[in-house]
Structure 1
Amino acid sequence: MDIIGERWAVPVMRELMLGPRRFSELKTSINGISANALTRRLARLEEVGAILREVLPPPASVQVYALTAWGAELGPVLQALGRWAVRSPEHDPTRPFSPTSLMLSLRAMASAEALHGMSAAIRFVLNGEDFFWRCEDGAVAVGRGEIESPDLTVSGNSSAVAAAIYGGADSADVSVEGEDALWARFRALFTLPPKAPLVRG
């Protein structure tokens, strides 16, 4: 618990859940983190064996950070934390989302009952980067990268897309290509649970 309890540890681990990232990509996607703080947190997570540094093969040949097999085991824990956090009385569904945090939430928060019998492939273009959400017989997979022949394509700033899904408001900043009925059904998968009661001593 000490490892993920340190400041910025969870956001860094979260941003690596969908694959390796460069330092600059991590800094851009983690709201409010400084270069020095990110450097320290990456060094600490590498020291304890949760992440590693590697160099991508040519033609990229750039250094990236990636989760180790043990680090990746945090994934289900982050999903459970996300489902717990949305019940906070102070949770704001319109808060800033990075593309990765949005895609992970779309895997964790989909209603199992509403997913029953659903099969769909949805392309997301978030902040200019491709992601996918795929459902086959109720099982959801998300990832980074292009998807062939999507049933729906959703494009826009990741925070605006999150607000459209979780806040229920249409936005001129979000572009949707495909059937309106599928977009409506998709958004209906993510009805947020009731807030926990605010108890004061």
Structure 2
Amino acid sequence: MRFPYRPRLDWETVATRRRYDDACTVARALDLVGERWALLVVRELLFGPKRFTDLRTGLPGASPNVLSQRLRELDEAGVLRRRRLPPPAAAWVYELTPYGHQLEPVVFALGKWGAQVSGPLDGRPLSVDSMMLAMRTLYDPARTRGVVTDVVVELGEDGFRATATPDGLRLVREPVDRPDVVIRTDTTTLSGVVSGGRTLTEALDSGDLVLVGDDAVATRFFTLFSRERLA
């Protein structure tokens, strides 16, 4: 898909920062998004706009000053923009531009590649958006057998509409009037059930996961994920 959007990038601005001084387009791309936290900021905005405080929640390891600097740089590069929501919210949020959204397959591919890296992950934070990215990575559209499933996934105060189709898994922050089922849990539990490290029955029995609606739909929804997708 081609976007009728041109980044308002002034390359002289980039020249004042550290850069690779390499004509390769990979190097030029890394001049824009290669700084620490930059691509993780993009990850946090893939599913919709966020306030600065929301970004801080998703990226607890980034200091406020560093996060502010990354946001300014990405804004200068045309990757994201800052805008004010209309009343009654009247809050400032950051969102990806169409140019920035072109990084989605890049982030997705990095997530799939990184999932093959072995090593302990206990105690490391897993943001809501990184969990959604993991679900996209493990989703196997062939398992739908042509059936479309519409569910709501609630992770604390954050909620997503998850539409499983033969063409892919659509995840977006938006309300759903009549979902087939609502899944209420936390990122750790959801990660375990989706990856196959924990059964749905175990999560339900422990109370770590709660279903509101059609249990059969939820059971079918969780069969649509497979670690074989990482191969």
> When the two structures are superposed, what TM-score results if normalisation uses the length of structure 1?
0.86
Aligned counterpart in structure 2 of residue 174 of structure 1, from 201, 209, 218: 209
| Structure 1 residue runs without a partner (length 5+) | 197-201
Contact 1:12 1:26 in 2 (8 A): yes
Contact 1:96 1:159 in 2 (8 A): no
* Cα deviation, residue 143, structure 1: 0.3
Larger Rg: 2
Number of residue equivalences: 196
Q: State the secondary structure of the residue aligned to 2:228.
A: coil
Aligned-residue CA RMSD in angstroms?
2.4
What residue is the counterpart of 1:183 in the other structure?
218
* Alpha-carbon spacing, 1:62–1:50, altered in 2? closer, same or farther (3 Å): same
> When the two structures are superposed, what TM-score results if normalisation uses the length of structure 2?
0.75
1:154-192 CA-partner distances (Å, limit 9, x unpaired):
112223322232222433222122344333332222221
* Alpha-carbon spacing, 1:142–1:66, altered in 2? closer, same or farther (3 Å): same
Q: State the secondary structure of the residue aligned to 2:154.
A: strand
Identical pairs, percent: 34
What residue is the counterpart of 2:4 in the other structure?
none
What residue is the counterpart of 2:138 in the other structure?
109
1:125-164 CA-partner distances (Å, limit 9, x unpaired):
1121221101234432110021121112111222332223
1:29-76 CA-partner distances (Å, limit 9, x unpaired):
113221111111111111211111111112222211111110011111
What residue is the counterpart of 2:151 in the other structure?
122
Q: Which amino acid aligns with 1:176?
A: L
What residue is the counterpart of 1:37 in the other structure?
66
Decide which moves more: 151-160 or 42-51.
Answer: 151-160
What residue is the counterpart of 2:114 in the other structure?
85
Q: State the secondary structure of the residue aligned to 1:78.
A: helix
* Alpha-carbon spacing, 1:147–1:66, altered in 2? closer, same or farther (3 Å): same
1:6-51 CA-partner distances (Å, limit 9, x unpaired):
1111111111111111100100111322111111111111121111
What residue is the counterpart of 1:98 in the other structure?
127
Cα distance in 2, alignment partners of residues 42 and 92 from structure 1? 27
What residue is the counterpart of 1:75 in the other structure?
104
Cα distance in 1, alignment partners of residues 180 and 123 from structure 2? 26
| Structure 2 residue runs without a partner (length 5+) | 1-29
* Alpha-carbon spacing, 1:110–1:165, altered in 2? closer, same or farther (3 Å): same
* Cα deviation, residue 195, structure 1: 7.7
Q: Which amino acid aligns with 2:150?
A: A
Q: Which amino acid aligns with 1:113?
A: A
* Alpha-carbon spacing, 1:189–1:92, altered in 2? closer, same or farther (3 Å): farther
Cα distance in 2, alignment partners of residues 61 and 102 from structure 1? 28
Decide which moves more: 105-114 or 94-103.
Answer: 94-103
